Amino acid sequence: MSAFLKTLFGDPGTVAVVAIIMAAELLLIASNEVTSAAFAAPLLVLAGTAWLAKR
């Protein structure tokens, strides 16, 4: 079961990175900062990738 869940969602670090990205997207969209969200999201994804790679 744990292998199944890990295949679907990844480890807790990956889940945390994606949760932060989603929270930032929702916050920016709710603040009507749609254009900022389009530029912030890829930067956040790349920063999360760097953090996951370095662990």
| Site residues for other proteins per CB under 8 A | 3-4, 7-11, 14-15, 17-18, 21-22, 25-26, 29, 34-35, 37-38, 41-42, 45-46, 48-50, 52-54
Shortest Cβ 26–other proteins spacing (Å): 6
- Is the Cβ–Cβ distance between 24 and 44 less than 8 Å? yes
Q: What are the backbone angles phi and psi of residue 7, rounded to the nearest 5°?
A: -65, -40
- Give the chain's end-to-end CA distance (angstroms, integer): 25
Shortest Cβ 17–other proteins spacing (Å): 6
What secondary structure letter does DSSP report for 31? T
Shortest Cβ 23–other proteins spacing (Å): 11
